[in-house]
Amino acid sequence: MFHGDLPYSSKDILKKLETMDEENIIGAGGFGTVYKLAMDDGNVFALKRIVKTNEGLDRFFDRELEILGSVKHRYLVNLRGYCNSPSSKLLIYDYLQGGSLDEVLHEKSEQLDWDARINIILGAAKGLSYLHHDCSPRIIHRDIKSSNILLDGSFEARVSDFGLAKLLEDEESHITTIVAGTFGYLAPEYMQFGRATEKTDVYSFGVLVLEILSGKRPTDASFIEKGLNIVGWLNFLAGENREREIVDLNCEGVHTETLDALLSLAKQCVSSLPEERPTMHRVVQMLESDVVTPCPSDFYDSE
């Protein structure tokens, strides 16, 4: 049975799924494949087909998805519905035509300018702050990375896949279930002990900020050959008072004062000590006061 706010039945959705092929695939991850789902009425969605689950998933799948489906926010990719059958576990989300931040940063020739990057950082921060501070129960994302930040046609950022890591991972093998591309984002205490908190999300957000500023993935080959990741690279540059060199040379319109503010914020977020990291609510406050103050105060307000 299909659950959600869309006017389709499970039969309608499964029928569409049967006609899909590789041309319809818009993403793939550790838990399944994402398809572009075009319904007969012209509406388009993103359909995630779950293929990897833990043994106890069926016991609480519906309950958890009901909670996630109730979470709506301007800076989140909204879950519109789900289908839980013996043969398929399907999640249907709003479709965002801009694709993922990972694709835009690393795979497309057109570069994001400075203002676009700042706007994306702020949008991602607001989405994550909402999950941490305004949801009941609060939601720890556990998998903040550029491929989980999606962009609409105006390059507004939205956080996607919130709640899925907790729902689908095997808690006893938390590291082995994480796809390789995620490791550069993980806080050291999560790598060591496997306990996710708001502060492990904050660390991942700090890594994301560095990725957006530099245009380099956290485990870029240029870091690896030096025995570093992006956080280690920042610390190396900071030790030589060369932090500004982290910025992407292809980025147009860089403003040094806002760059300095963002680097200061990122360093706080990726502190090795969780208690020294700010909350995401505080991150949004710092971004709005130190980075985007030239903008009208109501420009970025949440809906």
Binding residues for ATP: 52
Alpha helix segments (H runs only) across the chain: 10-18, 57-69, 101-106, 114-133, 164-168, 188-193, 198-214, 221-224, 230-239, 256-269, 280-290
User: Which among 200, 201, 191, 110 has a CA at the least distance from the CA of 151?
Assistant: 110
Q: How many other β-carbons are positioned within 10 Å of the β-carbon of residue 92?
A: 24
Alpha-carbon distance of 75 to 73, in angstroms, equals 5
Letter for the amino acid at 278?
P
The phi and psi torsions of 226 (rounded to 5 degrees) equal -100, 5
Binding-site residue positions: 52
> What six digits make up the tokens of 14?
């499964």
Q: Which of 58, 62, 94, 143 is catalytic?
A: 143
Q: Which are the contacts of 129, defined by CB distance < 8 A and separation ≥ 6? A: 279, 280, 281, 283, 284
Our answer to whether residue 143 is catalytic in this structure is yes
Residues serving a catalytic function are 143
